[in-house]
Structure formats: C-alpha cells, structure tokens
Structure 1
Amino acid sequence: MHLVSLNLTDLFLSLWRGTLECEAPDSRESWDWAVLQGETWKSHGKRVAAAKPYLPGTFDRPPHNPAEKISSGYKAWEYLTYVFALGPGVFLGVLPDKYWTHFCKLVVAVRLIHQRSITSDQLRTAHTLIIEFIEEFEILYCQRKVERLHFCRQSLHALLHLAPEAVRVGPQAYYTQWTMERTIGNLGEEIKQPSKPFANLSQRGCRRSQVNALKAIIPDLEPDSSVLPHNAIDLGGVFILLRARDSCAREIDGEAGGAIQKYFQTHAPDQFDPDSWPRVIRWARLRLPNGQVVRSAWKEKSKPPLGVRMSRNVKLQGKRQLSFAEVQFFFHVSIMGHNTTLVLLYQGNAGFEVREAKDISSVVAMVPLDDEDTGRYFVTEKMGLEVAYMSGMEEEIGNDE
C-alpha cells in the first residue's frame, strides 16, 4: 500500500527534515518539528541501521541508514519497516513529545488497517485515530496558514477512506499492491532476451499460465511441501519442531533448571525429583503456523552478533495475558503419558518460565530503545506478515546443525 509506505513517509520525513518548500511569510525557524538535521539526522540514521541484527529474517529487507541512502533507491519495504515498525522507538526522544504522540496515532491506525482480519471495534478505533490524527495535523503543522496549504497532501485525505472502504471491500491485505508487484518482479526476473523484453515477458506469462493449468489438472506435478526435514517432529496445528538438537539428555541447572523443576512439580508431581536437576534434550527451532521459524538463544548466541538476524524473541498468547519473552530452547517430554513440547523462556526481571511451545504466536523484534546500554527495549512486529504468508512466502527451514 504505497499510500502508507511511500506517500505518507515522504511527507513526514520531509517535514521533520525541514526540506519542504517554505513560502513567505512563513519561516523554517518556526518549524519546531524540523529536528532531523545536521548531527541529529546522522546519529538517527546510524541508529536505524544498527537495528538490523535485532530484526528477524521474516522482516525481509532491513532499512539502510536513511541519512545515507534515503535518496538513492530506498525501497517501499524499508520505508514501511523504518517508519511504521521502528518509528515509535527511534523517533522517541528525537521528535518533540506532541509530534511523537501525534505520529503514534497514525502508526496504531495503520497497523490495525494492515491486518488480514479486523474486528468492528478495531475498525472503529482505527477510524477514530485517523480523524484525530488529521485534525491534529492541521493544528500542529498547518496552523491555519495559507502558506502551509501545500502540507495538506492528497494522501492525508485518503486516510479517511481506509476504514469505510474496509467495511465495503475488506481489509487492505486483500487488495494491496504488494502481490501484484511481486508477480511483476518474478516475471521480470525471468526475462532472458533484453533485445525483445516485451515479447519475452508475454511468453513467460503464457508459459506460467500453462504450468499453473497443468498443476491444477495433475496435482502430483506440484512438489510435496508437506515432507518434513530430517528428524523434525510434527506437533500438530502446523507447528513443527526442528533441529538442531542435543545428541543426548543434558542436565539443566541454576535458575533455568529451577524453572523446569517448578513446571514438573505443578503439572507432573509423580515425575518431580527435588534432589536432582532435570535432564532434557534441547531443540533449537520451531516452525509456526504463520510461516515464521522461532530460533533459540542456545544456538543464536553461539554466532557472531553481527551475523545474526535475531529470531528468538516471541509473542506469547496463551490462556494468560499477552506477553513477550526470549526463547532459550525447546524440549520434547512425556508428562502423565502424553507427549508435549515445552519451551524455556527468559523474561528479564521475571526470570525463567516454562510454557507450552504452542503458546507462541509470532516472532517479534526486540530493539534497544537507545544507543546506551540501558537494558531498555521496544517490541515491534512485522507489518504485512499475513499478506506475505497469503502469497506463499515462508521462511526457509534450512539446517541449523
């Protein structure tokens, strides 16, 4: 949806950088929102680029340093991740509070509208936030000045139609341009005759249609994607436990071992032994129903920090309230005669906890809130994940042995 990823981002970055045209008697000195300039803009750009290791692989292309690359081929996905995923965190403390709060209303509304399914309450919330956002835009930025009329671009007005159109034709995910652009990109990659590109493109499209028709007539021509990798375990519900794994059961001591003991004491008292640490076979990864692969601190921390796109931070949605945690490892056990897969989680000050692996709903990014090592992080989820999964894009399982 280029309305969001390109048009709105261009407007606000131009405002915050102070690069929009300024007409007399207006003066850029009165633009208290134009803070992304000079060293502030350079340090902000470095901070955005530094978020790369904390963004899981499913976030696709991470945003480059905007201070260096924003005028030379910055992609729509980069804008979307930069502004609407990282934005609330990286703009905090940079934008004045009133502009940051105003911007966050847009982020909430856009993320709600981008869902594959949306409730009527969420739709009303999104529409209310959009109306407030546009009214406050006129108060904060335009200030009833004729010379600032060019701030009010068509993209702002278009926001007002998003929620009503969702009622009429469905959420944005079903008519976004991403799927069409992906098809155009795939066909473009297949062109092998630069001298006759359009004739070649026509033939590639015709051949793809023929292949799709054959697969519909003879389904066996399509490779079986349900074949599991070597030694993987199908947990049901499209959850798949993946290697790497320990070659034998290993003793887990300390706070981690205590959390596992506590779980057994509660759920399998007959198997609880207070006099010895638990022994388990650790597993490294879990494939989720949404196509993401959860990884673990056990394996990720053994790799160089700059060589990792962290995928061990997760959102949990069980019987209890929503929470976030870092996955330490998975383990497959038998409790009261029933096989189950558990996950050892680390939750900061709350310590370690054992939960069922199926409580994990998605992989999220946990990005440092500032450059200093304060231990403060903000959580963000990939925008458009459901759209990507609808189009058949899934994270490659690979082999983490």
Structure 2
Amino acid sequence: MHLVWENVLKNLVSLWTGEYKGLDSGTEDYVLDPDVWKAIGEATASAGSTIPSVYGPRPPNVQADRTACTADSWSFWALYIAPVVLRGRFRQEKYYNHFIKLIKILHTCLQFELTRAEVESVRTGLANWVTEYEGIYYQHDSMRLSACPVTIHALLHVADSILLSGPVWASWSFPMERYCGILKPAIRSRRFPFVALDNYVADTAQLAQLKVVYSAAEALGLRSPVRDHSTSIPGYIEIDTHALLDDTCALLPPKRVPETLADGLRDKILGCLSTRYDVPGAAVRFLLPQKIARWGKVQILGGGDLIRSSNLGGSREDSRNASFVRYESLVDRNVSYRNRPTILELRTFYGELQDIFVLKMPASQTLKLTEPEHLVLAGIRTCTLDNRSAPGGLDIHYYTNTGRYEVIDMKNIQCLVGRIFDRGQWAIVDRSGGLARAMYNDDEDV
C-alpha cells in the first residue's frame, strides 16, 4: 500500500496545491486556493485532539508540516479525515468525487478478507479511476506527460497482486519499516555499523529464545510490567468462541465513593431499570440503592477500547478525547403511535460517555431476581445526527448539537469513535462499521 500512501496520494496533494513538477491545472480547475489548503491543514491537526489515540498517531498538519507525514499518517488522513475536510473545497465537485472513488476502492483493498468478486471490482474500479485521472490531470496533452508517473500505471496491477499474494495487509511494508526503525538506534559505531547491527540482532534473538524456553517473558522483559488496577464486576460475562467465560468489561480508577445522586440522575437510572426489568418506575424506586458509586474509565475486554467518562475520567490539556462512543439500543418502532403494539428494533447511536455508574440491585420478587445483581450503567449524552448525506456514500455521520442524556447498560457500548470538526459541524469517524480496515499493530516487546 506504500504505492498509494507514499506515491499516488502525495502526487494528488501536490497537484491540488499546484506544486507538482511545475504543472498548472491546464484546462481543468483542480488547484485549491492557498487559504483553503491552510484551513484543511489546520482542521487535520486539530482533529488529533478529538480522535482517540487507539486510532493511531496524532495526525500532523498536512499543509504546514508535511515532512512529519508518514505512510501511516497519510493512510489515516486519506481514509478518514480527507473525505470530511475536502468536501466542498474544490471549485468543481468532480475532483472530490474522483478522489472518493479511490478511497472507496482502498477500503475494499484493506478488508481482512476479499472474495474474487471484490477483487474484480477493485480491478474494474482502479481501471476506471486511472482513466478519469488521465482526463483530469494528464488531459491527453504531451506537455503534461509528467502527470502520469509509473505509480499511476501500477494501480492497474493491484488486483493481480491481491490474487497472487492475498489481501494487501499480507504483503505491505509496515512490518519492515518498523523493524528498520528498531534497528536504527542499535548503530553505535560509525566505523563498524554492520557489526553493531549483527550484535543487536543476535542479542535480541537470544533474549527472545530465553523468554520462550524458560517462560520468562515478564522477568526478562525490557519494559516495566503493567500493573492491573482494574475491577471486574460479577455478572458481566460472555461466552467467547472457545467456550470460556470472560468478563466483558473492567472498571479503572479514578473512582468516586458511593454518593447520593441528584434527582435528575436518579430518574434517568430509574427509567433504565424500569425498561430492563419491565416494571413500573415506582416499583424500582424503593429498591434502588440510595448511594451509587461512579468510576472514571472502563476497559472493554477481548480486544476492546479503553473509554473515559468525561465527568470523572480526567484528562491532560494535551490529551486526546476518548469519551465518544458508538452504542446500540432497542427502540420501539411505534413509539409515536399510542394504540399500536410495541415493536422493538436494534438501532445504532453515538454519544459522549459522561458517567459510569455501578450499583447492586437486591434480590426481589418484583424484579424477578432470586439473588442480588450487579449492574454497570453508562450515562450518555447523545449526538443528534444531522440529515446530511455521507460523503461519497462512506459510513460517516454528522452532528451539530448534542441531545438527551440517557442511561443504558454498559454492555450496549460497542467502541470508541473519533470526531472531526470542520466548518461548524462535527463528523463522526467510526472504524467499526463500513470504514473498518486491517491495521498493522506493533506490540512486540523488544
């Protein structure tokens, strides 16, 4: 994929900014105004504070600090940020639509698995994209031949490469890049650099074998062991594919001692419990504990995200927001019709996790509980999605204002989402839906 991130995408940016090999826009009008490109760079940089770190490194300013852009940051910018910040920026919409066609094809390429039909759609899509590229940037003018480097032609062979080598993640360059980055600090001698490299590789290989042979990974680890400060709540378990019981979430400090909540918060919790146990709110009110504990962070286990509650999670001034989530909830399809039967359907929502409540409901015949039940509830301020079409049909949603505060079960939260503020609106970046992609995860302890 470095063919795209380090070549095709960089060339497109150079064309849009009028910096590509002395070429102007010719008979087209795709060059962005400098002030527009500056605004795009600023929006990209500011998005780093509202996109969780689990999504990747903080994106640099693509206008003012392009030298800081790596293949990984170009990848994230193109797939998630550019569709938002480039929308409506070109004088003609066809340039944006042409770019979005490439992004949709790249999302297909980055799937963990591809069918042969999808590979053929990649082949056809890239062939059509290259043809349009030639019309827009090359313009079939021999004086503009430099707009067609070999990397544009190479796109026509991506489908064949997938058929020969598998999905692009199976052969991309990220592992080798990371390994070279690990080796570079090992060069301590200018006179004998290769000896230093050989010694480092041999030492790390021997250390890795010792860890395996003697089960001493923690004792011989070069990183400080991570202390587990989490607290698991009984009852929050699920059965995974190996038929083992695992906690679905773990709570992390800070923790606020049980306290009496404001009446408004108690009413929201009562509404949640009334729906959960299918009893009137008055029946739950007398069973609800007077004092309820609150926690600052929750870890979704099984490879899930670490989520902070905005009211208690705490954050540094330069930290990245990790409070906005995607969650699912059952909604009555006939809620607006009093005389129609209740028909529940599962819908997806987005919002800010503001509170994490932990309470223990007593055994009760009213609630049909034969023994006490522990609950972890999430207080969420919902995002009121705008009726704005997604850019190019991508799975991107917009909102301007937040809506109601509601309390749901923590199990309903799916994952963290990122946000991009651009021209008065927030765009939600959800990598768990249609924009999910394969990622290289370097977690080796060296």
Same fold (TM over 0.5): yes
In 1, are the aligned partners of 2:304 and 2:415 still within 8 Å (CA)?
no
More strand by share: 2
The answer on 1:251 being equivalent to 2:261 is: yes
Q: Report the equivalent of 1:284.
A: 296
SS class of match (1:297): coil
The two structures have a TM-score, normalised by structure 1, of: 0.81
Q: Which residue of 1 aligns with 2:417?
A: 364
Report the counterpart of residue 337 of structure 2 in structure 1. none
Q: Secondary structure at the match of 1:347?
A: strand
Amino acid at match of 1:329: D
Which residue does the alignment assign to 1:392? 443
* Structure 1 SS opposite 2:415: strand
Q: 1:286 to 1:169 in 2, by over 3 A?
A: farther
In the TM superposition, residue 200 of structure 1 has moved relative to its aligned partner by 0.9
Residues 293-338 of structure 1, C-alpha deviations (whole Å, 9 max, x = no match)? 22221235x656x522111122336783444322223333456444
Q: Do the aligned partners of residues 94 and 162 (structure 1) sit closer, same or farther apart at CA in structure 2, a change above 3 Å counting?
A: same
Q: Return closer, same or farther for 1:42/1:294 CA change in 2, 3 Å cut-off.
A: same
CA distance in 2, matches of 1:57, 1:48: 15
Match of 2:354 among 317, 324, 328: 328
Change (3 A) 1:226 1:303: closer
CA contact (8 A) 1:53 1:310 kept: yes
CA contact (8 A) 2:298 2:307 kept: yes
Cα gap change, 1:286 to 1:117, in 2 (>3 Å): farther
Give the structure 1 partner of residue 205 of structure 2: 209
1:364-393 C-alpha deviation (Å, 9 max, x unpaired): 2111122xxx3433425499975344x327
**Higher percent of residues as helix:** 1
Residue identity matched to 1:229:
D
Question: Could you tell me the TM-score, scaled by structure 2's length?
Answer: 0.73
Write the mapping of 1:158-237 to structure 2, written as runs, cut at 5 A. 158-222=154-218, 229-233=228-232, 235=236, 236=246
Counterpart for residue 101 of structure 2: 105
Give the drift of 1:158: 3.0
- Match of 2:4, as an amino acid? V
User: In structure 2, which of residues 140, 144, 147 is the aligned counterpart of residue 144 of structure 1?
Assistant: 140
How many residues of Structure 1 are paired with residues of Structure 2 in the alignment? 382
CA contact (8 A) 2:295 2:312 kept: no
Q: How many angstroms apart in 2 are the aligned matches of 1:140 and 1:153?
A: 14
Give 1:241's aligned residue.
251
Describe the superposition over 1:251-294 as per-residue Cα deviations: whole angstroms up to 9, x where unpaired.
1543x554432221111246944768885322222223336322
Question: What is aligned with 1:309?
Answer: 320
CA distance change for structure 1 residues 141 and 267 in 2, over 3 Å: closer, same or farther?
same
From 86, 90, 104, the counterpart of 2:85: 90
For 2:158 and 2:225, the matched residues in 1 are separated by: 37
Separation in 1 of the partners of 2:118 and 2:407? 32
Hey, what's the Cα distance between the residues in 2 that align with 1:334 and 1:162? 56
Distance (Å, rounded) in 2 between the aligned partners of 1:127 and 1:262: 53
Q: What amino acid does structure 1 have at the position aligned with 2:276? A: H
Matches within 5 A, 1:11-30: 11-21=11-21, 28=25, 30=27
Of 149-158 and 379-388, more deviation after overlay is shown by 379-388
RMSD (CA atoms): 3.5
Partner of 2:310: 297
Contact 2:230-2:250 at 8 Å conserved across structures: no
2:277 to 268, 271, 274: 268
Deviations 1:136-155 (A, max 9, x none): 32333333333333322333
- Further displaced range: 175-184 or 335-344: 335-344
The answer to whether the 8 Å contact 2:112/2:438 transfers is: yes
Query: 2:420–2:429: 8 Å Cα contact kept in structure 1?
Result: yes
5+ residue gaps, structure 1: 395-401
Aligned equivalent of 1:398: none
User: How has the CA–CA distance of structure 1 residues 120 and 91 changed in structure 2, closer, same or farther, with 3 Å as cutoff?
Assistant: same
Distance 1:119 1:268, change over 3 A: farther
Check if 1:130 corresponds to 2:156: no
1:103-151 residue CA offsets vs partner (Å, 9 max, x unmatched): 1122222233223345667656555543443333233333333333332
- Given the superposition, is the C-alpha separation of residues 69 and 228 from structure 1 closer, same or farther in structure 2, using an over 3 Å criterion? closer
Residues in 2 aligned to 1:199 and 1:384: alpha-carbon distance in whole angstroms? 43
Match of 1:156 in 2: 152
Could you tell me whether the CA contact under 8 Å between 1:283 and 1:329 is conserved in 2?
A: yes
Alignment partners' CA distance in 2, 1:287 and 1:264: 23
How far is the alpha carbon of 1:13 from its aligned partner? Answer: 0.4
Output the CA distance in 2 between the equivalents of 1:128 and 1:332: 53
Q: Secondary structure at the match of 1:103?
A: helix
| Worse-matched range after superposition: 278-287 or 100-109 | 278-287
> Take 1:110 and 1:75, find their aligned partners in 2: how far apart are those partners?
18
Judge conservation of contact 2:248–2:411 (CA < 8 Å) in 1: no
> What is the aligned counterpart of 2:30 among 27, 33, 36?
33
Bigger Rg, structure 1 or 2: 2
Asked whether the 8 Å contact 1:290–1:362 carries over to 2, the reply is no
Q: Which moved more, 1:179-188 or 1:112-121?
A: 112-121
* In 1, Cα distance between equivalents of 2:359 and 2:29: 59
Give the 3 Å change call, closer, same or farther, for CA 28–271 of structure 1 in structure 2.
Answer: closer
CA contact under 8 A between 1:62 and 1:81: conserved in structure 2?
Answer: no
Range with bigger deviation, 380-389 or 202-211: 380-389
Match of 1:377 in 2: 427
1: CA distance, partners of 2:225 / 2:348: 31
Deviations 1:207-263 (A, max 9, x none): 111111122212244359998622432753664332222221441543x55443222
Flag the 1:186–1:124 CA change in 2: closer, same or farther, 3 A. Answer: same
Is 1:341 the equivalent of 2:340? Answer: no
Amino acid at match of 2:185: E
Deviation track 1:21-76 (CA, whole Å, cap 9, x = no partner) reads 357xxx645340011x4323333322222222112122333232222222x34322
Q: Distance in 2 between matches of 1:121 and 1:351?
A: 44
For 2:73, the equivalent position in structure 1 comes to 78
Greater shift, 147-156 or 230-239, is seen at 230-239
* Aligned match of 1:5: 5
